[in-house]
């Protein structure tokens, strides 16, 4: 069986397992109770959607914008639009979350940035984003221990954080050492064909673009600061949802839920949309904060609805862009 076929089967298996966990949790918490809690949020669901679009997505776009050198920098509005489409792909397309990052790199290149800079900006953005998210996770861990006194999360979260830090440091080091030229050289030698030699030059160009972005300390610091602001202020949508459900809405509880659920989603990124796992995270962390299971499940459903409301138009926009490019290419080919 080809590797692509194995990956497809794995995604189906993980998706079905997630759907099974989602269904089990829904039955356990009571479908009618969850439904009643969800509908009680009313208009606030729209407020959550607007808040996410206007705050976290915008701040993430600013963080990405800060990395670009002036000569290759698209407008902030364009990057905001690309970030929205990339997030839509990551949350709704049944593939690893990295798919949205590939799409936004492609869109940046189509909008005038050089291909090496567009790809390098996304890779550096991802690397710095993971660093910042680990720090955010540790802050959430400290808060949950302080507020609840429960220390069950401490050991596994710390172990995961250490592994994550080691992995991202390793990824950073190989980026600085020139990982893409090295990979291209290996592929070229294995292929043993002159047609593949240009791949080596392309890998070297990408490595140089990555090093140039890391050398821009102002851009790196700006990206980290804006990403941290996105994570912290992004907790505001959870605060709105908590308030709408009549729960104990505090900034601390919102930050704890935001940090822990994001960590759980990142840890299980192969599961499409973190289906079932996200719901389990809300239920488990919510129980530590005194949030009833049905209300915690409803919190996750509000996040799911927000993903659909923002994600579906994003996917449609992406498909329209690709369809228009394909149509123009066919017209140009027919005109020759």
- Give me the tens of pLDDT residue by residue for the chain, a chain 336 residues long: 555 556 567 667 766 777 787 778 778 777 788 888 888 878 889 999 999 999 999 999 999 999 998 888 889 999 999 999 999 998 887 665 567 888 898 899 888 888 888 888 888 998 899 889 888 988 888 888 887 776 666 676 667 667 767 776 776 676 766 655 555 554 445 444 454 445 455 667 778 888 889 889 999 999 999 999 999 999 999 999 999 988 877 889 999 999 888 888 877 777 777 777 888 888 888 888 888 888 889 999 999 999 999 999 999 999 898 888 888 878 777 776
Query: So what's the pLDDT on residue 186?
Result: 46
Contact 245, 295 (CB under 8 A): yes
Residue 210 and residue 190: Cα distance in Å, rounded?
25
Q: Distance between CA atoms of 212 and 114, rounded to whole angstroms? A: 13
Tell me which residue of 216, 282, 268 sits closest to 70, measured CA to CA.
Answer: 216
| 237 within some domain | yes
Q: Is 166 exposed, middle or buried (0-12, 13-18, 19+ CB in 10 A)?
A: exposed
Q: How many domains is the chain built from?
A: 1
In a domain, 46, yes or no: yes
Query: Tokens in use for 107?
Result: 């869109």
pLDDT of residue 93: 79
Residue-level length of the chain: 336
**According to the model, what pLDDT value does residue 34 have?**
83
Instruction: Give a yes or no: residue 304 inside a domain.
Output: yes
Residue 2 has phi, psi (to 5 degrees) of -70, 155
Q: Is residue 14 part of a domain?
A: no
Say how far apart CA 299 and CA 305 lie, in whole Å.
10
Burial of 5 (0-12, 13-18, 19+ CB in 10 A): exposed
Q: Is residue 123 packed enough to be buried (19+ CB in 10 Å), middle (13-18) or exposed (0-12)?
A: buried
Q: Would 1 be classed as within a structural domain?
A: no
- Distance CA(31)–CA(24), nearest Å, equals 10
- Residues 152 and 166: their CA atoms lie apart, in Å, by 23
The span from the first CA to the last CA of the chain, in angstroms, equals: 41
pLDDT in the model for residue 4: 53
Segments in the chain forming alpha helices (H)? 3-29, 31-40, 44-54, 56-67, 76-92, 98-110, 115-148, 154-177, 179-191, 197-215, 217-244, 251-267, 277-288, 293-335
- Structural domain contains residue 124: yes
Give residues with Cβ within 8 angstroms of 100, minimum separation 6: 85, 86, 87, 88, 89, 90, 91, 93
Q: What is the pLDDT of residue 86?
A: 92
- The H or E element spanning position 250 is none
Q: Which structural domain, as residue segments, surrounds residue 270?
A: 19-335
* Three-class SS state of 90: helix
Using CA atoms, how far apart are residues 270 and 272, in angstroms rounded to an integer? 6
Does 185 reside within a domain? yes
Is 119 within the bounds of a domain? yes
pLDDT of residue 143: 86
């Amino acid at each position: 069986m080809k590797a692509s076929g194995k990956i497809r089967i794995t995604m189906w298996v993980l998706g079905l397992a997630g759907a099974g966990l989602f269904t089990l949790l829904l039955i356990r918490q009571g479908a009618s109770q969850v439904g009643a809690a969800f509908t009680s949020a009313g208009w606030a669901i729209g407020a959550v959607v607007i808040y996410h679009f206007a705050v976290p997505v915008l701040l993430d776009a600013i963080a990405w914008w800060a990395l670009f050198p002036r000569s290759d920098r698209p407008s902030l509005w364009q990057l905001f639009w690309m970030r929205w489409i990339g997030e839509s792909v990551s949350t709704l397309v049944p593939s690893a979350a990295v798919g949205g990052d590939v799409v936004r790199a492609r869109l940046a290149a189509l909008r005038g940035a050089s291909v090496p800079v567009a790809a390098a900006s996304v890779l550096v953005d991802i690397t710095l984003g993971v660093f910042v998210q680990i720090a955010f996770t540790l802050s959430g861990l400290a808060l949950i221990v302080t507020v609840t006194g429960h220390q069950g999360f401490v050991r596994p979260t710390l172990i995961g954080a250490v592994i994550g830090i080691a992995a991202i440091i390793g990824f950073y080091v190989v980026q600085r050492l020139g990982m893409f030229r090295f990979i291209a050289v290996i592929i070229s030698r294995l292929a043993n064909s002159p047609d593949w030699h240009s791949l080596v030059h392309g890998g070297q160009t990408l490595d140089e673009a990555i090093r140039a972005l890391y050398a821009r300390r102002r851009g790196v610091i700006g990206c980290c600061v804006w990403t941290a602001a996105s994570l912290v202020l992004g907790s505001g949508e959870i605060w709105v949802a908590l308030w709408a459900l009549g729960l104990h809405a505090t900034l601390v509880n919102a930050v704890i839920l935001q940090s822990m659920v994001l960590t759980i989603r990142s840890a299980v990124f192969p599961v499409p949309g973190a289906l079932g796992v996200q719901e389990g995270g809300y239920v488990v962390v919510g129980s530590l904060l005194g949030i009833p299971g049905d209300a915690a499940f409803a919190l996750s459903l509000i996040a799911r609805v927000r993903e659909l409301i923002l994600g579906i138009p994003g996917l449609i926009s992406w498909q329209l862009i690709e369809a228009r490019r394909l149509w123009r290419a066919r017209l140009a080919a027919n005109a020759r």
